[in-house]
A and B are shown apart, each in its own frame.
Chain A
């Protein structure tokens, strides 16, 4: 009898303990998610609601027109499409060049293979600020300051090391039999690369592409430094400008921020497993 009571005591303690753990995990989840919920709410409010009512109140009558207003009047549509095409161009270039290099390093035979790999891996540790001034000067001399090519090339160069690192892990585990058979059959290297290796590595290409997409979409320093005209600015710098002009218009600011993060949130809803995998695999980059 005494033993039984002790057992139930233990199981109650265990349940309490588990309940406490869940409580902590839930509080952390709320801390992580509530600011974004709050952002959504004030993006739908009018200024009188923001300044007159409690910040915790739900929007009385959702002002979707905040979004329409900033989209056209605030140039956000222009910045948005700049972000889209500059991100896509950089991602394509990065993933293609990184695949070439990873293929050459893991599949082909040459002398300086390890040295070149080392150069790419050390690149992971270089802070962009340490290269920024000469880069600016370099693009200035080439006439590429205030030209989208300067940011596309910078994104590609600085994301190549991480992309190659993630690709390497996959290439090493991939069986080589199919490629070897293709060589025996007299296939050219290009055909092997484009028709066999690239399709076989498509899962990891998807992972690196989505990680690159997130990094490029969010990048700020290069655009802020190299681009001065509105027609080439991307969202991060664009919303900075916009907010500078509409300091007290919370609804407009909220709508702008929401527009800038919605594509990322949608990508995360669809591809969360890939993103998690890519973040874990590419954790060397902070």
Chain B
């Protein structure tokens, strides 16, 4: 038994192709990103070593901090929206007829490409022919906003599209977790006279705390790397009002050919992502994981 299943040649044959791929296309590149960040490089010509110059420039780059602020704002909004998703899931996982169909309907936008979603929402927000302003006009609103062209509104407008895209994803996760709670626990609480709100708040939510923790990480880390939707909808505009870290990096590297500086931004993105993941795991780690 052990002999056949410990054949080194077979193990190498099965593991190496995938391992080489992820090392060559994920691990080596992220290390190189840190290294290129130390270079002055236009992507084609020779690299010049400039030490930490890109990183010190980054710390003083107001445009970069503006985009970082937007990324963190999106992370904050996304985490807060989890509360709404959790409430919807609590209702949905109760004895609701058609819950299965509803959660599938909620999921549909999540399956579509960010490019298609961005193009669709560009049309929804169209100041003259979009459904949003037409609806507002029907409701009697004068001076309807220009949404994506308004620096004060653009980030919120994008966030609504993000909400639309990801709502079903989180609802599916919470719903699955809530359905995994043993019926006996809920029944016991009912016999003890707990009302549905107490059951939700005191029993169900604590029991799925582990899943909630994962979704917080997902929402924050996911927000920090948002790109496609914003790149297509506004390109970071107007005048940087919706620029985020990833779109700033992309513009620096593939727009302005500052590959060295772009690498520094990309490396910062990697570090902040890893730190945030680690931090949330650490902060929300409970000594005694709930068991049932």
Q: Which residues of A contact B (CB under 8 A)?
A: 21-22, 24-25, 28-29, 31-33, 35-36, 38-39, 42, 50-51, 54-56, 97-98, 100-101, 103-105, 107-110, 116, 119-120, 123, 125-138, 153-154, 156-158, 160-161, 164, 180, 183-184, 187-190, 193, 214, 217-221, 225, 235-237, 239-240, 243, 250, 253-254, 257, 260-261, 264-265, 268, 272, 275-276, 279-280, 283-284, 286
Contacts and interface: CB of A to CB of B under 8 A. Distances in A.
Given A132-B29, A286-B218, 11 more contacts: A39-B123, A100-B13, A104-B11, A104-B15, A109-B5, A125-B274, A129-B249, A133-B253, A136-B43, A164-B18, A276-B107
Closest 3 CB pairs of A and B: A286-B222, A218-B113, A131-B29
- Majority-rule SS of A interface residues: helix
Contact of A268 (B102, B108, B114, B116): B108
A38 B116 contact: no
A190 B26 CA distance: 29
B69 to A, nearest CB: 18
Contact of B2 (A32, A109, A133, A217): A109
A31 B173 contact: no
A100 B228 CA distance: 32
Contacts of A257: 116, 119-120
Given A123-B22, A130-B267, A97 B17 contact: yes
B224 to A, nearest CB: 8
Interface residues of B, number: 92
A280 B176 contact: yes
A123 B88 contact: no
B18 A101 contact: yes
Interface string B92-119: 1010100000111111111111111001
Residue from the set B14, B27, B94, B228 with the largest chain A CB neighbour count within 10 Å = B14
B134 interface: yes
A133 B263 contact: yes
Contacts of B225: 127-129
B282 interface: no
A180 B227 contact: no
Interface of B: 1-2, 4-8, 10-11, 13-15, 17-19, 21-30, 32-33, 36, 43, 88, 91-92, 94, 96, 102-116, 119-121, 123-124, 128-131, 134, 164, 167-169, 172-173, 176, 214-215, 218-219, 221-222, 224-225, 227-228, 232, 246, 249-250, 253-254, 259, 262-263, 266-267, 269-270, 273-274, 277
B27 to A, nearest CB: 7
A56 B167 contact: no
Contacts of B4: 183, 187-189
A279 B21 contact: no
Contact of A220 (B26, B105, B228): B228
A32 B119 contact: no
A24 B91 contact: yes
B214 A283 contact: yes
Contacts of B11: 104, 108, 110
Given A25-B92, A260-B113, A157 B123 contact: no
A38 B131 contact: yes
Contacts of A128: 225
Nearest to A179: B5
A107 B129 CA distance: 59
Contact of B25 (A110, A153, A253): A153
Contacts of B173: 279-280, 283
Contact of B107 (A21, A237, A279): A279
A120 B22 contact: yes
A21 B94 CA distance: 11
A214 B110 CA distance: 10
Given A110-B11, A157-B21, A261-B116, A284 B214 contact: yes
A127 B249 CA distance: 12
B123 A253 contact: yes
Contacts of B228: 220-221
Contacts of B254: 136, 225
Contacts of B277: 125
Contacts of A116: 15, 19
A164 B113 CA distance: 23
